Amino acid sequence: LKYSQFYFDSGRKAFKFKRVKTRNRTEGGGEVIIPIIEPLQKILDEIAADPVLNSFVFPDILQGATHKADKRKRISQENSNVQDRVIKICQEVLHWEVRPSGTWARHSFATNLDHAGISRSYIKESMGHSEAMSVTDRYIATFPLEKQMEYNSKLLNLTPERTITKSDIKKMSKVEMAALLMELMEK
């Protein structure tokens, strides 16, 4: 993953890359946009390299490797290390029975967005999937970054819906009830 021109053009709010697995097999090359929502920004603040155009976001993974085979080996090793840590967290902290993998994470991403009511066209686009485009599809722009951030925040439930109980309403003044009603009508 590199700090591409797209990263800077987006106001440092998103990454764009082509999936290695599908870059030569799909229309558009399996291009993926990753909106930088708050949890990802925290990770970047902690372990990413300073943003420099065309430099690696996580250069330490490569350990100075310059040859393609060496880079691939180090990236594969880091992916394995991350998977091992995720498995350990899922088992020891969350007490999950599932054994997560990259494929499992992609399936969960798509399923959870779908269950959150996000359109399938966004899910397809965000995963870098491509099908034969209709003529109409060629005229429709990709989802704006603001929508991508909103949708991905729903995935992580970063902006939960406000829940109001009968007890809450009973404690409200008439002015507060009127304000609540106006807020609900605006949705």
Q: How many CA atoms lie within 13 A of 151 on its CB side?
A: 26
The amino acid at 74: R
Name which residue leads in pLDDT, 129 or 165: 165
| Token duo for residue 146 | 């603001």
| Token duo for residue 181 | 């009603």
pLDDT band at 25 (very low <50, low <70, confident <90, very high): low
Mean pLDDT, residues 81-106 taken together:
88
Contacts 24+ apart (CB under 8 A), 95-103: none
pLDDT of residue 80: 92
Dihedrals φ, ψ of 178, to 5°? -65, -40
pLDDT of residue 53: 97
pLDDT of residue 125: 80
Mean pLDDT, residues 113-123 taken together:
83
Q: Which pTM does this prediction carry?
A: 0.63
Unique residue bearing structure tokens 């109001």: 164
Name which residue leads in pLDDT, 137 or 67: 67
Indicate whether 123 pLDDT > 80.
yes
